[in-house]
Structures are given as C-alpha cells and as structure tokens.
Amino acid sequence: MNRLIKTSLLAATMLSGLASVVHAEDATLTIESWRNDDLAIWKDKIIPAFEAKHPGIKINFTPMAPTEYNAALNAKLASGTAGDLISCRPFDASLELYNKGFLTDLSSLDGMGNFSPVAKSAWQTDDGKATFCVPMASVIHGFIYNKDAFDKLGLKPPKTEEEFFKVLDAIKKDGNYIPMAMGTKDLWEAATMGYQNIGPNYWHGEDGRKALIAGKEKLTDPQWVAPFKEIAKWKPYLGDGFEAQSYPDSQNLFTLGRAAIYPAGSWEISGFNTQAQFKMGAFRPPVAKDGDACYISDHTDIGMGMNAKTKYPEAAKTFLAWVASPEFAEIYANALPGFFSLNSTAVEMKDPLAQEFVSWRKDCKSTIRSTYQILSRGTPNLENETWTESANVINGTDTPEKAAEKLQKGLDGWYKPAK
Amino acid sequence: MQGEQMESDVAIPRRQPIRWHIAVFLAPAVVIYTAIMILPLGGTLFLSFYKEVQGVEVFVGLDNFRTLFGNERWAADFWNALKNNVIFFIIHMLVQNPIGVALAALLSIPKLRFAGFYRTAIFLPTLLSFVIVGFIWKLILSPIWGVTPYLLSLVDLKFLFAPWLGKPGSALIAVSLISVWQYVGIPMMLIYAALLNIPDEVLEAAECDGITGWSQFWKIKLPLILPSIGIISILTFVGNFNAFDLIYTVQGALAGPDGSTDILGTLLYRTFFGFQLQLGDRTMGATIATVMFLIILAGVSLYLFGIQRRMRRYQF
Amino acid sequence: MANARISRTRLAFVHVALIVYMIIALFPVVLTIMNSFKTRNDIFRSPLTPPLPSTFSLTGYHTVLGQGDFIGYFENSLIVTVASIFCVLLFGAMAAFALSEYRFRGNLLMGLYLALGIMIPIRLGTIGILQEMVALNLVNTLVSLVLVYTAQGLPLAVFILSEFMRTVSDDLKSAGRIDGLSEYAIFFRLVLPLVRPAMATVAVFTMIPIWNDLWFPLILAPGEKTKTVTLGAQTFIGQFVTDWNAVLAALSLAIFPVLVLYVLFSRQLIRGITAGAVK
C-alpha cells in the first residue's frame, strides 16, 4: 500500500515535471492597455477564465496611465518592444497603427461575424475592407441621478427639456443639493458629458453626423448650435467654482451625495456602485417635446488587435477569437457594468443601472460621437477644439454661435468633404 | 645661416605635445552624451525638414517653418504659447529667484539655530514629483475641497477666493506660482553653496571696516555670488522654456482654460506625441522643437559669450 | 565678534521669516499625509483636521499596498538613482575640469556642445534611444535607465561644475604641478575635494528628475521587475482617481521614500558643503 502511494507520487512528480517542461514552451502574451482601472478584473476574472480553457497560453495584462498610452505605445511599436496584443482606441489612432503595418488584418478571424458593421466601423479601413481590432465595448451617455434626493424632493426623472430644467430649478430652490455635478476645468467633461451627451437629439444621431462628414451640414447650422445653447443654460445649476472643478471632483460631489444629477458616461457605473451610499437611477438625454424621436450616444470605445510582430501569432489569434466570443462578452459586461458588449449575442446583465442604460437602445437610435470619425484627422483637431469651446460656452467666454463658428472655421481650414 | 634658423624658429612655434589627459578627462562624458542624447535628438530635429506623405518621409526644406509661422492657426498657437512662456519665465525671475536668494542669505547667517531643519523643510517640495505637486495643489485650490476658501476666511479674505485654475485670466499665474513653490529650493541651494564658499577672512575684513548686516550683503556678498545668480538665471530660463510636466498634470494636455496656460513645451508635446484623437505629428513637432531649441540656444549663447565672459570671478 | 553680528530682534525676524516660508513649503505635504489616514467622508468634509480616533482609517494604504511590490519598486529606483548620480558626478567633473582648466582649441565649442543637452528635452529622442537600447539588448534592464539618466544629467553637471572649478585657486594647482603631481592627481586629490559643495548640489539636482521620471521607466523598463517607485505610484493615481483614500495614500507613499532619501543624502550634502567652506 505504502509503496503504491510512493510510486504514484513519483509518477505524479514526473508527470508534473513533464508538464512544466511543456509549460516552459508556452506562449506568454502581453496585453498593452490604457485601462489601468481594470487591472484587478483582468487578473481575477478574465485571464483565469481564458487560461482554464487554453492551458498552453499565458496572459499578462500590463496597463499604463491613459495619458501616456498613445505616445508610449507608438514608441514601443516603432522599436519592436510592444506587447503581443494591443488595446485599440477607436478610429484614427488605431487606423494609423494599421496603416503603418503595426497591426494585423483580422477580417478573417473566427468570431468576427459576431459583430455588426456599426460595431466594427471604428476599427476598419475607410473602405471597410479590413478590420484590424476585435470590438470589445461601447459606452452610453445619459444622466445618473440620486434617487434618494429625487424621492425626498418629490421629483421624477425628466423626459423633456422643459421638465429637465424644472427639475433643476426645484433642486436649486431646495438648496440641499448642488443640482448638477459637472466642472469645466478638465474641458472634456463639458464636451463629452455635455455636448456629446445631449447633442444627438438635436442633430439626429447618425443622420447629422454623416451629413457633417459629407459636408451637407455645417457646425454653424441650428441643429449643431442648439446643444451649445442648451449647455450654456446649465451654468447656474453647477456648483460654486465649477470653472476649477475637475473630473474627480465632480465624481466625488455626486458619490458623496452632495449633488443630485450627474451628466454621465456609462463607464461610471461600477465606480459609483462601490462609492455611493444611496440609490441611483438614470435617465436619458431629454428631448425637445414629449414623443420626439430620441437618439443616444452609444460610442464604440475599446477594441483589441494583434501586434504584427508578435512571436506567437497563433496563440494571439486564439485569444482574440475568445475575446470575440459570447463567453467573453458575458464576463466583461458583468465585470465592468457600463462597458456594453458589442457582440450581437445579447448579454444578460445583472446590474440594474447598466440595464437601464442599455434599455435605451430599444427605444432610441444609437450614434457615435460626432467628432470621432474622419473629422479629427487634421489640424486643428475638431475633438480638441470641441473640448475647449464647450468649456468656453459654459464659462460664458464664448457665445454658442461664436463657438460654433470657431469650430467650423477650424474644420474648413483642412477638411474638404468629398462632393 | 644662423639667422635663418632663428627666423624659422620664430615662424614655426614649437608644437605642444598632445595632451592626452584632456582627451581622457573628456572622453567618457562625450561618448555617453553623444551616443544617448545628441544622436537621437539630432535625428529628431532633422525631421523638421521632412514631411510624412503616405508613410514616407519626404524632404520639404523649410516648408514646415513656413506653415508654423505662415498658417493662421499654427502661428496663433505658437505666438500664444511663446507669450505665455515669457510670462511664465518673468514670474519665475521675479518671484522664485529673489525668494531663493533671500532664503539662502537668511540660512547662511552663521550659527543660526535650526538652519539644517529649515533648509531641509524648504527644499522638500523640490524633491517631489510633479505628479504629486500637481495633484496636491489641484486639491488645495479646488473650490470643492474648500481648503483655500477656509484658510482665506480665517483672515476675513474669503471674498478674494476664485476658481483660479479655471479662469483664463488667473490660471497661468496660479500655475506659475505652483511651479515657483516647487522649484524655489534650487536657487536657494546654489546660492547657499556660493555664500558658504565666501571665506570668513573676507567677511571679517569687511566687519573691521564696519560693513555689517544689510550693507555687507549688498556690498560684499552679492558681488561675490553674482556668477551663481547668473547660473540660476540661465537655468531658470532653460528650465522654463523646456517646462511642460507641471502644466500637463495640472491643466491637462490642452492647457486650458481656452489655451491660456499653453506654453511652448505643452504645445510641443501635444503636437509631437499627439493627444486624444489628435495623432502625433512628428515633423511639425520637430519643427516646434527646433524653434524652441534656437530660442534657448540664443539665450544660452548670450549668457556664455556676453555675460559669463565679462563676469568678474574671485578665486579663493 | 561673530555673536555680535546680529542683534536679537533681527534674529527673531530671521526665524519668523524662515518659519513662515517653511509652513508654506510643508503645508501641502502635511495636508496630504494627514488626510491619507482618514475616512473618505472626513477627507471631504473636514480636510484641515488631523485624523482623530473616530476618523482614522487605513483603507487607502490597504488598497495601494495590496496591489504592487512597493519595496521592489523602491529598490529599483534607488539602484538607478545612485548609479546614475555616480556616473554623472564622475564623468561630469572630469569633463568640467578639462574645460575649465586647460586652454585648447575648441574649448569653447566643446563647452557649448556639452551644454546643448539642456536646451532640448531628451524625450524627443525617445524613439532613437529605444532603438539603440533594442540593438544593445538592454530593454527592460536598469542599465538602460542609468545610461539615459547619465546622458541627461551630464550637461547640467558640466555646466555647474565648470563654473565652480574656475574659482579653485591657480596657485594651488601650480604648487601641485611643481611637486610633480600628474594632471590626474591634481584633479582627484586637489580639485575634487575643493568643489565638493558644488558636487553635492549637482547630486541633488541630478537626483530629482531621475527619481521622479515617469517616461523612460515606462518606455525602457516597464516590466514588473524593473518598475520604479514613481511609475508604480502613477499607476495608482491613475487607477483610483476618485478614491481619494487610495490616491492620498499612494501620494504619501511616493513622498515617503523621497523624504528618507533626502534625509540620508542631506547629511552628506551638508557635510560636503561645509567641508568646502572651511578654509
């Protein structure tokens, strides 16, 4: 008996020794990413799920600060020291990497069929012939509100603009809460949570965005100036010194219960869930009149591609095919509520706030941010200009008309739409 | 014959033997510096004469410079950054360096108690990373956190408070002062070292002549530390015209509000490395870098050839 | 005599001035460290009160320390910083001596050439540098960082040291030469000890940008084994930007090693400065 145990132990040791020999030849794939917020989720949930099924492949997630990502990644790719898998920013940043030969064409990858053309458009060549990143997630804009505060004041989430400002007035009059938590210091809050959040209702989502690219509409047209006029009206409802209020300030104001409404992107959900001590709800950008068609910004935000110089192209493709699978979509969407899967297979989400956001997709038409595709290719950069001008409009430095005029002038400086 | 030989002796001076030790002293520094710094940087600056056309770099001569100064947008951005940079520099010269000299003068008072403690404490901010400095000051000046308004209210000056970092009129001054706060230790230390270098005999001789206190500082010490003040001025100039880290951290890459804190460094980094949807434009970035380099080179040359040569130095 | 130099009231003014400035210098740092030990609500509600038993919390530190090998990062930073300072001081002083001591053709040009480096930010050469390091197979090693920081620190070191070396007495050096000392002996035995204050100053100036650099560690040595403490701390600042507990804890942890390092160095520094002053 004893001997038997010893023998089997020996055999087991030998086997495990063999196994480690095999492991030594394993492929270890390094992922480049700017999502350092997600480090724990990758380590604890996503990577173990993959490695359990594919014992020969090891994954190493190495994120860096978002502000450094593009520059650092470009330098590393240029000198061949970048990781095997590359997180892709949408549109031009990744397109440039593909055009320079840093990213592989993944059009024929298993699982690419799981994505709609719209989902893939952020990581395709202009002619749509090559897709070079697997779409991972999109983010939706709207407003998150403090349900406890709304209940206390007897308020209901607004549907129309008129109701929206009535609610803001009521909160302001009550005086216990700052009506809206948003600052203009970091500029992008004003542009992304303000202009791009409510804008699609005015320029009619994809219709307006495409007309702008085609040169049929101009930023000085009423439907493009209107969102500026709206956010200009937000000024009295923001907190004291909002000019110097930064993005984390806004988040803290809301999660500490000092502000009632937070113009949001859905990516906030997981952070807010752990930090806010009150119940939260969400409402979509208000429309002009009850019953108007509604549009939401459902923006393709993150994808993943393969370094053309990777030593393990097969292993990398295996991983990317898994990223394209419904299984990954399920894990990712639930681990990071607010990052919505782009997979055509519907994902069951457990988070109520995330469910609320994603439910808008049924009633409203989705669009992506107006400045992202093609229009930010030249100098001056339309997206950056929109940041500065949105902040200027709220601060009162520029009138909505003046801001729109500046943007259009900058765009005219280099962009000649195909006629 | 003899006369001829003497003449040729005069005409052809005896050649000195090659002084190998000079080469030995210079070699390690020159080799490392050339390989790691000059070659890569030179390669980058040369890009300012090129333009990327469909992934290939094409020689375009001075076209990029024409764009930078001729194109309405580029020129506006450039002059705005240069103007802000000059203001940034002036604030440093007027605030940072006098405070630094004053602190050094106080600290170098002989037998001053706690001098070491003061010196360490005052130098501490200089050691901090700009990431930390930027974050702390954003918090302190934040209207949300309320530290500054509260402190002002203690002295009944709360009405003075404004969201300084968010207003185009005050943001640049606020950021400059944060930078002064951080770097005041550098002039302080340099001047302190220079003041300690003044031999006691000189000061005692001055005292025998009845020159003490303030007049001693102005008449004896200041002339002796002038070379060091020259160094800190030129270091401030170079540092300020290369600065970008702090503004990047405090105000973001677009150096808002409305570009009011954009200096040459931030414009350069935004252009060269790109930002958000703006792709890095290495050739235009290199063009801006070249112009900055010329500005700084002009300043440093002015110092090296104009001022440093004329400055009187005292050997002890 | 020395005691009579300054009257008591004057001395009091001097102390007041220094204390006021010291408070300005230290206040933000103290505020950060103090609040890093408080609960999130109290950080926000009463930022200026020190942590009380009722508001004390170590949550921030738990979050941060649970996520990285901070001691390993600290070691890396220390190795890189000390090695770079050593190279900068040695090579820089040698070059400065050559420039300030000898008249030779191209002296001025060489001085200007070595000063070029402080006029262009070295980051612009990133791609070139990275390619060199790839060719030398030094990526993800601390050596690559030491090389870059040495190159980066040299111009300033040469600039400052040659200025100070001009103040070293010629008589002393002539006397050394008459005694038959070689040029190397004159440099190492006579000149170097005399410029110690300047060397100490340069050491501190060199240390600051190296210790605080984010960029080159990110590009040249981002691996877990070669990560520096600033890069480590940056990850946390980016990661928990809303979680003020963790942010303030990460900031405090990043300040702490600098403090320790400076207190250690500062002894040397002051000894260096005073050694030069004693005549």
Provide DSSP, B185-232. Answer: HHHHHHHHHHHHTS-HHHHHHHHHTT--HHHHIIIIIHHHHHHHHHHH
Q: Which of B153, B258, B277 to mutate to test the interface with A (most CBs of A within 10 A)?
A: B277
Could you give the CA distance from residue C224 to residue A391 in angstroms, rounded to a whole number? Answer: 39
Whole-angstrom Cα distance, residue B299 to residue B293?
A: 10
Residue C58 has pLDDT above 80, yes or no: yes
**C157-205 confidence digits (pLDDT tens):** 998 898 888 878 888 899 999 999 999 999 999 898 888 878 887 887 8
**Token pair belonging to A185:** 């210091």
Q: What is the pLDDT of residues C129-167, one digit of tens each?
A: 988 998 999 988 999 999 999 999 999 999 889 888 887
- Contacts C126 to A, Cβ<8 Å: 75
Q: How many CB atoms lie within 10 A of CB C16?
A: 10
Amino acid A95: pLDDT: 92
Residue-wise pLDDT for A198-209, tens only, equals 999 999 999 999
pLDDT of residue B199: 81
- Of A73, A51, A69, the closest CA to residue A60 belongs to A51
Q: How confident is the model at residue C24 (pLDDT cuts 50, 70, 90)?
A: very high
pLDDT score for A14: 47
Phi then psi dihedrals of residue A7, to 5 deg: -60, -45
A and B: number of Cβ contacts within 8 A: 117
Predicted pLDDT of residue C272: 61
Q: Does C2 have pLDDT greater than 60?
A: no
- Scan residues 149-188 of B and list those with Cβ closer than 8 Å to A: 162-168
CATH 3.40.190.10 fits A2-137+301-355, yes or no: yes
The pLDDT tens digits of the residues spanning C76-116 come to: 988 999 999 999 999 999 999 999 988 888 888 898 899 88
Alpha-carbon distance C82 to nearest alpha carbon in chain B (angstroms): 15
List the single residue in C with minimal CA-CA distance to A257.
C41
Q: What pLDDT score was predicted for residue B212?
A: 78
Partners of C210 on chain B (C-beta within 8 Å) are: none
Neighbours of chain A (3+ CB pairs under 8 A): B, C
Determine how many CB atoms are found less than 10 A away from the CB of residue B17: 6
pLDDT, tens digit, 9 for 90 and up, residues B283-305: 999 999 999 999 998 998 888 78
Res. B242: pLDDT tops 50 = yes
Using the 8-state DSSP alphabet, how is residue B14 labeled? P
Q: What is the pLDDT of residue A400?
A: 96
Domains by residue range for chain C, with CATH: 3-61 (no CATH), 67-239 (1.10.3720.10)
CA pair distance C65, C70, nearest whole angstrom: 7
DSSP 8-state assignment for residue B58: E
pLDDT band at C268 (very low <50, low <70, confident <90, very high): low
Question: How far is it, in rounded angstroms, from Cα C197 to Cα C267?
Answer: 12
* pLDDT the model gives residue C6: 61
* Complete domains list, chain B, with CATH: 2-59 (no CATH), 64-308 (1.10.3720.10)
Pairwise CA distance, residues B275 & A93, whole Å = 10
Round to whole Å and give the CA distance between B42 and A2.
74
Burial label, C46 (beta-carbon count in 10 A; 0-12, 13-18, 19+): middle
pLDDT attached to residue A361? 92
What whole-number percentage of chain B has pLDDT above 70? 93
Q: Within chain C, how many helices (H) and strands (E) appear?
A: 14, 0
User: Sign of torsion, CA B141 B144 B147 B151?
Assistant: positive
CA separation for the pair A260, A157 (Å, rounded): 11
pLDDT of B287 reads 94
B65: three-class secondary structure by DSSP:
helix
Task: Write down the mean pLDDT value for chain B.
Answer: 86
Q: What angle do CA B108, B114, B120 make, to 5 degrees?
A: 80
Minimum CA–CA partner of A75 in chain C: C127
Find out whether the peptide bond into C155 is cis, omega within 30 degrees of 0.
no
Decide if C219 and A75 are in contact by the 8 Å CB cutoff: yes
Of A92-96, B11-15, B188-192, B275-279, the poorest mean pLDDT is in B11-15
Q: Which residue of C has its CA nearest to A38?
A: C239
Q: Per the CB < 8 Å rule, is A379 touching B278? A: yes
Chains that touch C (3 or more CB pairs under 8 A): A, B
Burial grade of A235 (CB within 10 A; 0-12, 13-18, 19 or more): middle
- Name B224's Cβ contacts closer than 8 Å, sequence gap at least 6: B194, B198, B202, B314
pLDDT at B11 over 70: no
Listed as own residue / partner, the contacts of C168-171 with beta carbons closer than 8 Å and 24 or more positions apart are C168/B315, C168/C194, C168/C195, C169/B315, C169/B316, C170/B315
Q: Which of B43, B124, B135 sits opposite C128 (nearest CB)?
A: B43
Tell me if B222 sits within 8 A of B97, measured CB to CB.
Answer: no
User: Which region among A381-385, B62-66, C232-236 has the lowest average model confidence (pLDDT)?
Assistant: C232-236
Look at strands B274-275 and B278-279 and give their pairing.
antiparallel
Query: What does the CA dihedral A192, A193, A195, A200 come to, rounded to 10 degrees?
Result: 90
CA dist B49 and B34 (Å) reads 22
Please give the mean pLDDT across all residues of chain C: 83
Q: What single-letter DSSP state applies at residue B121? A: H
Task: Give the residue from B141, B147, B273, B276 with the most A CB atoms within 10 Å of its CB, the best one to mutate.
Answer: B276
pLDDT bracket for residue B8 (50, 70, 90): very low
Q: How far apart are CA C134 and CA C57, in angstroms?
A: 46
Backbone angles phi, psi at A285, to 5 degrees: -55, 130
What does the angle CA C31 – CA C35 – CA C37 come to, to the nearest 5 degrees? 135
Q: Residues of chain B with pLDDT > 90: what percent?
A: 39
- Residue A394 identity (one-letter amino acid): I
**B57-62: Cβ within 8 A, 24+ apart:** B57/B283
pLDDT means per 10 residues, chain A with 419 residues, are 52 46 68 86 92 92 84 86 94 90 94 90 91 95 96 95 96 95 93 96 94 94 96 94 90 92 94 91 94 93 95 94 94 92 88 93 92 89 94 95 95 84
Per-residue pLDDT, A23: 46
- Mean pLDDT value of segment B277-287: 88
Q: What local confidence, expressed as pLDDT, does residue A70 receive? A: 86
Q: Which residues of B touch A184 (CB under 8 A)?
A: 166, 257
Residues B142-159: tens digit of each pLDDT: 888 888 888 888 888 888
* pLDDT given for residue C49 in this prediction: 83
Q: What is the pLDDT of residues B254-269, one digit of tens each?
A: 898 999 999 999 999 8
- What pLDDT is stored for residue A418 in this prediction? 67
Residues of chain A with CATH 3.40.190.10: 2-137+301-355, 139-298+366-412
pLDDT band at C62 (very low <50, low <70, confident <90, very high): confident
The residue count of chain C comes to 279
> The whole model's pTM is what?
0.87
Q: Which fold would CATH assign to domain A139-298+366-412? A: D-Maltodextrin-Binding Protein; domain 2 (3.40.190)
Contacts of A381 in chain B (CB under 8 A): 276-278
pLDDT at B157: 84
| The residue count for chain A | 419
In order of A187, C96, C154, C161, C220, the CA distances from C88 in angstroms are: 41, 11, 5, 11, 20
d(CA B156, CA A353): 45
Cβ neighbors of C279 (< 8 A, separation 6 or more) are B199, B200, B201, B316
**Are the beta carbons of A79 and C218 separated by less than 8 Å?**
no
Q: Give the CA distances from residue A138 to residues A66, A321, A361, A367, C143, in Å, rounded to whole numbers and listed in that order.
A: 17, 19, 12, 11, 41
